[in-house]
Chain A
Amino acid sequence: METFLIFFGMALATYFTRYAMMAALGRGAPGREMSRTLRRWLRYVPPAVLAALVVPAALAPQGRLEVGPRAWAVLAGAAVAWRTRNVLWTIVGGMAVFWGLKVIGG
């Protein structure tokens, strides 16, 4: 029962944090166009957040610095991503290197 209360609470929290920003910045409200500064700032949110998700997962998967299979896999993935600009090939290349290193390393 408590689990379902938590599910419900988190659903509300997720919904309203997302909806609040869309409602605040959304179209249809005259005179509410985003300022140039805000637009510029928001444009750099995706690269910043994506890099913030990728780098710790590559170099500190267990919460401490370690240059292991995950780091090499992400590096290989970066090379594939740079060449192909394709998300699926990036996953395939990265996982191939990860599993290859696991097989070699035992």
Chain B
Amino acid sequence: MSDESYALAIAQYERGAGSHHYFLGANVGIYLVWPASGLVGALLGSAIPDPSRYGLDLVFPLAFLGLLMTFLKGRIGVAVALAAGGLALAGSFLLPGKWHVIVAGLLGSGLGLLLEEWMERWRRS
């Protein structure tokens, strides 16, 4: 299980087309590609002095963005993503390392839970 294959599989479940076969396929795929790419990088990596010059590091956020869209179905999902994105941006200036992702992830998903509970209570009353 890796971050990317998990995100891919959970997005597929969200679309109603997920299965453990899909999950396994995503994981096997990354287990084949990851070491192979690592080997290529170790052998040829020094030929590309700075990958960020070509923006190749941008591929990861773009892939996550593509997956994010799957989870923006309801208004709560959109609110959660906006809140977590804003919190993560602010946190990236204030917190060391990658803590802003964890903090924004916990607070953003907690907000989703609260909103859903509130909406349910509001509808019932």
Contacts and interface: CB of A to CB of B under 8 A. Distances in A.
Contacts, number: 169
A86 B107 CA distance: 27
Chain B, interface SS category: helix
Contact of A85 (B70, B89, B109): B70
B111 to A, nearest CB: 8
13 contacts: A18-B1, A40-B113, A43-B112, A46-B67, A46-B71, A50-B64, A50-B65, A51-B84, A53-B61, A53-B101, A94-B62, A95-B55, A95-B58
A47 B55 contact: no
A63 B90 CA distance: 10
A80 B14 CA distance: 19
Count class of interface residues, chain A: 35 or more
B59 A91 contact: yes
Contacts of B66: 77, 81, 85-91
